[in-house]
Structure 1
Amino acid sequence: MSIAVSADIKPSRLLLITMAAAAIVVALIGVIFAFALVGQLSFVFRMSLAGACVVAAILAFWLVLRSRTAVWLHISGTGQIRLVEHHVAVRAKPGSQVMNGGLAQLLAGSTVWPNLLLLRLRLENGRTRTIPILPDSVPRETFRALQVACRWVASHNNDA
Structure 2
Amino acid sequence: MSIAVSADIKPSRLLFVIMAGACLSVALVGSLACLLVPLHLSFAIRSLLGLACLLAAAVALFQVLRSRKTIWLHISATGQIRVVEHLVRGNARAKPQVVKAGVAKLLAGTTIWPGMLFLRLRLESGKTRTIPILADSVSADTFRALSVACRWLISHNTAKTRMLEK
The normalised TM-score by structure 1 is 0.92
Alignment of 1:101 with 2:101, yes or no, is yes
Report the equivalent of 1:3: 3
Say how many residue pairs are matched. Answer: 159
Deviation at 1:108, TM superposition (A): 1.1
Report the equivalent of 1:83: 83
Deviation at 1:88, TM superposition (A): 4.5
Tell me how far apart the structure 2 counterparts of residues 95 and 6 of structure 1 sit (CA, whole Å): 18
After superposition, what is the alpha-carbon deviation per residue over 1:106-141, rounded to whole angstroms, capped at 9, x for unaligned? Answer: 011111111111111111111111110000000011
Report the equivalent of 1:39: 38
Alignment of 1:137 with 2:129, yes or no, is no
Unaligned runs of 5+ in 2: 161-166
Q: Secondary structure at the match of 2:97?
A: coil
Alignment of 1:24 with 2:24, yes or no, is yes
RMSD: 1.7
Identity %: 60
Counterpart residue identity of residue 38, structure 2? G
Contact map agreement 2:84 2:98 (CA 8 A) in 1 = no
Counterpart residue identity of residue 147, structure 2? Q
Unaligned runs of 5+ in 1: none
Contact map agreement 1:104 1:122 (CA 8 A) in 2 = yes
Matches within 5 A, 1:137-156: 137-156=137-156
Report the equivalent of 1:62: 62
The normalised TM-score by structure 2 is 0.89
